[in-house]
Structure 1
Amino acid sequence: MAKRNSYYRGPVTDHFDGTHFFNPGGILPFGFASVLRWQMNGNRSRWPRHVDLPQGKAKPADRVTGKDLRVTMVGHASLLIQVAGVNILTDPVWSKRVSPVSFAGPKRVIEPGIAFEDLPPIDVVLVTHNHYDHLDVRTLRRLQHAFAPRFVTPLGNDTIIRRAVPLAHVSVLDWHGHLAVAEGVRVTATPCHHWSARGGRDRRMALWAAFVIETPAGRIYHVGDTGFHDGINYRKAAETFGDFRLAILPIGAYEPRWFMRGQHQNPQEAVEGFKLCKAAFAVGHHFATFQLTDEPMLEPLEHLGLALDAAGIERQRFRPLRAGEVFDVPPL
């Protein structure tokens, strides 16, 4: 009997076979035997149990207007983007763990860089995919109660959000779909090389995506998780949209490479992607918050700096933000 997709039903496409989503020409996620091989390799680095916020908690302004563009790091893939009078959160997680249960699973080693109570009015929440470190229903419930924002997410993830947050205003997009979220601000879902699952029986049953945010202050390319995939998606983004004022790119959770290369790029690949998508500036994320993989906590920072030096790119153009750090992106 064919497996049924409990999140999404729709026509077959170049990235959906009727039951599962997939990366065209890409790498499928490994199975249980490979997970065991990785978990038993003995190469997992030791992270500290707790790290203080380097600069304390940020207290954002209510709005950022005109040509200004400000990004504040909450932690991991959770960022506050303030542009054109609109406040956007990406993959928001304020929970202590990223797990289906509250008592086990990867635990936060650093507090959120913004206290939830200090958030400005949130207009839009972008959820890139359904892994627990990106789609945290506990946080989404809090956001709904506090701000009733518009949630924007790829196909199938809307089912998960609506089950947990019944009153949520959810807009769902396929790759290349778009919608206006405010006057002059448009969000488009674009391909990235990843996968999805909330458990062992729903692999690849909800779509994953990056987002392009077009604003009067410039274009923003936000990638939650991705394997490099020979740079295909970066090239396509530049071809479709032109250059970007800012790219927000993952730089962590990449070791061991034999296991992670299809789902998480490393810092060297992030620098190559930065070049390929023709961004003026970049923010690095997805590191130093939850230990998901084997590399040391701050290794992504070191490797990013070395990769930028090797590419002849000034380090201030690609900023790896720690929790609580604020980046006022220079104008083009």
Structure 2
Amino acid sequence: MRSTQNRYYQGPVSDHFDGVRFFNPGGAEPKGLADLWKWRTGEKPTPWPESIPLAQVVKPSARVADLKVTMVGHATVLVQTRGMNILTDPFWSDRASPVQFGGPKRVIKPGIAFQDLPPIDLILLSHCHYDHMDIDTLSRLKAAHDPLVITPLGNDAIIAKTGLRCRVLDWGQSVRIGEMGIHCTPCHHWGARGVSDRSMALWAGFMMETSQDRLLFIGDTGFDQGRPYHHLAKNFGKIRLAMLPIGAYDPRWFMADQHQNPAEAVTGFQILDAQYAIGHHWGTIQLTNEGRNDPKLDLATALAAAQIESTRFWAMEPADTWSIPA
């Protein structure tokens, strides 16, 4: 039975909240169980390797003056800028699942060992899917670092059990942390932790803004005719770094509404007119049908077709580190 009460959030009706569930204005609803069954019983996914060794071991500096990013894996990136350490959608568990005996399993270790993390000041948590909201990791971060979490409406109710401090934002709202302004931006996705709570917590991207820089993180989004990007280019000006999802896109008939592919990410990069970009959300856990390296290869093809230098948009592997040029 479809629930008529929201267990995570109570608030006024808006252009993206109907009083019970959030939605994508003018966009597409997530596919239903019939389509899920059609996908799961259709074309077989490309097999992934059982495990992949880390190419290197990374122990980040405690603080960074300018801007440096280190890929942990999937949508988890360590952003070090202006003396602040920020984690996006932190995920260190073996599986992205409500249980650790089943569900999508990590094929490569995190690019930073948990004990080697520098002091973490801030977590940007984009939405509540298990590959982005990992309660075990959040609990570990609370115990080790006690960071502040910034997250969209409703997600704070889910992570309350961790004891983490939260600042909760709606689309279009902002908060200032020290010298950094963080803006909650619309994207085209959805969220759920089970079968009865679909879209009861909001999803979003984040623009980080200082007097010198603008940095964008989007955890998951469909391309949605470019709407997640057009307003950012208009409202924020030059973006130094965009961290964009490029994986979990095949088959397109099922995934296109919620997961952009690498070619769409490149188009988004062009709309933003960003200086540099990182491709994340690929190569750590298999969620969909494409092969493990397909997002990286498809990104290279899309960049070449758009005549964009490959040095500007990098599909980073776990443990890759990049000092972003000024």
User: What corresponds to 1:179 in structure 2?
Assistant: 175
User: What corresponds to 1:3 in structure 2?
Assistant: 4
The alpha carbon displacement at 1:43 in A equals 2.6
Which 5+ residue runs of structure 2 have no aligned equivalent?
none
Match for 1:59: what amino acid? K
Q: Which runs of 4+ in 1 moved over 3 A?
A: none
Match for 2:152: what amino acid? P
Superposed, 1:11-160 pairs within 5 Å as 11-54=12-55, 56-65=56-65, 68-160=66-158
List per-residue Cα deviations over 1:204-254 (Å, max 9, x = no partner).
000000000012441001110000000012011111111200000000000
Superposed, 1:195-206 pairs within 5 Å as 195-206=190-201
User: What corresponds to 2:311 in structure 1?
Assistant: 316
- Structure 1 residue 294 and structure 2 residue 295: aligned? no
User: What corresponds to 2:210 in structure 1?
Assistant: 215
The alpha carbon displacement at 1:97 in A equals 0.2
- Structure 1 residue 328 and structure 2 residue 323: aligned? yes
Aligned equivalents of 2:315 and 2:32: distance in 1? 32
CA RMSD of superposed structures (Å): 0.9
Aligned equivalents of 2:150 and 2:184: distance in 1? 9
Match for 1:87: what amino acid? N
Aligned equivalents of 1:108 and 1:121: distance in 2? 25
Aligned equivalents of 1:289 and 1:102: distance in 2? 16
Aligned equivalents of 1:194 and 1:323: distance in 2? 25
| Structure 2 contact 3–196 (Cα < 8 Å) conserved | no
- Give TM-score, length-normalised by structure 2: 0.98
- Equivalent residue in structure 1 for 2:230, among 223, 230, 235: 235
- Give the secondary-structure state (helix, strand or coil) at the position aligned to 1:51: coil
- In structure 2, relative to structure 1, the CA distance for the partners of 1:2 and 1:51 (3 Å cut) is closer
List per-residue Cα deviations over 1:246-288 (Å, max 9, x = no partner).
0000000000000000110000000000000110000000000
Match for 1:148: what amino acid? D
Aligned equivalents of 1:2 and 1:49: distance in 2? 39
- Give the secondary-structure state (helix, strand or coil) at the position aligned to 2:240: strand
| Structure 1 contact 83–217 (Cα < 8 Å) conserved | no
| Structure 1 contact 84–215 (Cα < 8 Å) conserved | no
- Give the secondary-structure state (helix, strand or coil) at the position aligned to 1:282: strand
- Structure 1 residue 261 and structure 2 residue 256: aligned? yes
Match for 1:89: what amino acid? L
User: What corresponds to 1:161 in structure 2?
Assistant: 159
Match for 1:311: what amino acid? A
| Structure 2 contact 174–181 (Cα < 8 Å) conserved | yes
How many residues are treated as equivalent by the alignment? 325
- Equivalent residue in structure 2 for 1:248, among 236, 243, 263: 243
- Give the secondary-structure state (helix, strand or coil) at the position aligned to 1:11: coil
Aligned equivalents of 1:220 and 1:126: distance in 2? 12
Match for 1:23: what amino acid? N
| Structure 1 contact 69–217 (Cα < 8 Å) conserved | no
The alpha carbon displacement at 1:2 in A equals 6.0
Aligned equivalents of 1:289 and 1:90: distance in 2? 15
Aligned equivalents of 1:108 and 1:16: distance in 2? 34
Determine what percentage of the aligned residue pairs are the same residue. 52
